[in-house]
Amino acid sequence: MTLIMPAPEPDILSQRDALIERLRAILPASNLVVDETARRAYECDAFTMYRALPLVVALPETVAQVSAIMALAAEMNIKIVPRGAGTSLSGGSMPLEDGILLGMSKFNRVLEIDYENRCARVQPGVQNLAISKAVEERGFYYAPDPSSQIACSIGGNVAENAGGVHCLKYGLTTNNILGLEVVLMGGEIVRLGGKHLDSEAYDLLGLMTGSEGLLGVVTEVTVRILQKPAVARCLLLGFPSVDAGAHFVGAVIARGVIPGGMEMMDRATIHAVERFQPCGYPLDAEALVIVELDGTQAEVDLLVSVVDAIARAEGATTTKISTNEAERLQFWAGRKNAFPAVSCIQPDYLCMDGTIPRGRLPEVLAGMDAIAKREGLQVANVFHAGDGNLHPLILYDASKEGEMARAEKMGFDILRLCVSVGGVLTGEHGVGVEKRDLMGEMFTEIDLEQQMRVKCAFDPMNRLNPGKVFPTLHRCAEFGMMHVSGGAAPFPDLPRF
């Protein structure tokens, strides 16, 4: 299935030179990427199947510059695509040929650390892991930890509502931020939330988190920081089948145990990881589950014994328990490197992101295997087992004719399977362009129209990251909405209904 993006608007393309001149009045020359060769560096994000050359790349350093660029875009009716670190796996920051690519990488400072209120104010270009590094000397950390945490930015995490290994116990991005500063499409600057625990009135903070750059551009984030648990230990568990591993995951949660993290990978991934970065994973296992338990010493000791007993009852063939911090980190090292490790099997992969009810894991994993056999491709499974967030890696070779198209079709079928069992299209990677045309599998036309009305309230001319999330591009006027400037509606002589 070929992705179709909105056709470039000739009116915008014809204004490129004028736009660049006006941007030069806002930004220093070094912060404006105009040359075609230099713009190629921004033609895609981590969803590399599709590419587009941005009209121009703007790299602001101040909120005032972002505001001025947004106001200019609104005035000239130019599209804007926000971009963080470019690690999006759904094409959320894929540029448009008739749009400004607004790169936020220069917003890279930690502005304030407030240990008393257990929060930190950071700019959106700060790397996820850098937040934990900034507070670790006082025994604190930032909980959400996507696999790309050494590269991904906190602004991108907010846009996609990213999760990670420890989101089972500590929540997604939306559960770990307290406030945002956002620039809207007209250049207006708004603050949502703050250092306090809960926001007043409508939950606009929650609305903005996971909005994929369609509602505004984040220029500051207030994150919640947590004190590191006194003790954290890991169990490395091998099972004779994926089905047995999946049943174990359900049994742990059913027992009332909520691990800090619970990850699972299949045989293909285990072997790829051991070739890429040996971690002592059992090569005779068909499934591997890593369980991390944290808390006080007494609590962790008890939970380790409980989970160990459950694993043995569910037929675990390998049981290893970390005895020190180095060993715990070694257990996790393979999981953190699972994505690059599969390049040992095939040169290319497509990472999916469906989420399902935990109880349907065995059924869905069997279904994915059947889809892979039908398409003649291999799938390597690695996922957040505790909350049912699947990351099947569809392996293919883009140099072989037709394999990329088959991989894309297989990904669509896997996501349809997830929705059919009561799951959702995305757990943390976002919809972007990758899953855009599947939104009709999960939402009715009425559902999508209501969501589009929210977008129109923030961006009435649909200039902010258009062509993403919604499968059909609408004008806000279709929903009885229009842009009002200076208190006057356009074409005041026309009758209103």
Q: Say if residues 377 and 407 touch (Cβ distance below 8 Å).
A: yes
| Whether residue 176 sits in one domain with residue 122 | yes
φ, ψ (nearest 5 deg) of residue 454: -65, -45
| Whether residue 115 sits in one domain with residue 44 | no
What's the CA gap between 134 and 300, in Å, rounded?
Answer: 27
| Whether residue 223 sits in one domain with residue 160 | yes
| Whether residue 186 sits in one domain with residue 144 | yes
- Tokens standing for residue 453: 């009305």
**So what's the pLDDT on residue 147?**
87
- The answer as to whether 40 is a domain residue is yes
Q: Which residues pair with 287 in a beta bridge?
A: 239, 266
Ranges of residues in the chain whose predicted pLDDT is under 70: 1, 199-200, 473-475, 477, 479-497
| Whether residue 114 sits in one domain with residue 222 | yes
pTM (2 d.p.): 0.92
Q: Say if residues 193 and 205 touch (Cβ distance below 8 Å).
A: yes
| Whether residue 89 sits in one domain with residue 68 | yes
Q: Pick from 48, 63, 84: which is nearest to 156 by CA?
A: 84
Total count of domains within the chain:
4
| Whether residue 209 sits in one domain with residue 116 | yes
**So what's the pLDDT on residue 496?**
36
**So what's the pLDDT on residue 490?**
52
**So what's the pLDDT on residue 291?**
98
**Max Cα–Cα distance, the chain, nearest Å:** 78
- The answer as to whether 495 is a domain residue is no
Per the structure, the complete domain to which residue 70 belongs is given by 10-103
Q: Say if residues 356 and 322 touch (Cβ distance below 8 Å).
A: no
Domain end marker among 87, 103, 119: 103
What's the CA gap between 183 and 208, in Å, rounded?
Answer: 11
- The answer as to whether 353 is a domain residue is yes
**So what's the pLDDT on residue 4?**
86
For the stretch 250-300, pLDDT in tens is: 999 999 999 999 999 999 999 999 999 899 999 999 999 999 999 999 999
**So what's the pLDDT on residue 6?**
86
| Whether residue 212 sits in one domain with residue 176 | yes
For the stretch 44-79, pLDDT in tens is: 999 999 999 999 999 999 999 999 999 999 999 999
The alpha carbon of residue 446 and the mean position of all alpha carbons in its chain are separated, in whole angstroms, by 26
φ, ψ (nearest 5 deg) of residue 465: 50, 50
- The answer as to whether 37 is a domain residue is yes
Q: Say if residues 458 and 213 touch (Cβ distance below 8 Å).
A: no
**So what's the pLDDT on residue 494?**
44
| Whether residue 201 sits in one domain with residue 123 | yes
Q: Say if residues 31 and 60 touch (Cβ distance below 8 Å).
A: yes
Domain end marker among 103, 130, 163: 103
- The CATH number of whichever domain residue 397 belongs to comes to 3.30.70.2740
**So what's the pLDDT on residue 322?**
96
- The answer as to whether 15 is a domain residue is yes
| Whether residue 405 sits in one domain with residue 353 | yes
- Tokens standing for residue 275: 């070739």
| Whether residue 49 sits in one domain with residue 126 | no
| Whether residue 333 sits in one domain with residue 237 | yes
Cβ of 210: how many Cβ atoms within 10 Å?
Answer: 19
Domain end marker among 103, 136, 152: 103
**So what's the pLDDT on residue 126?**
98
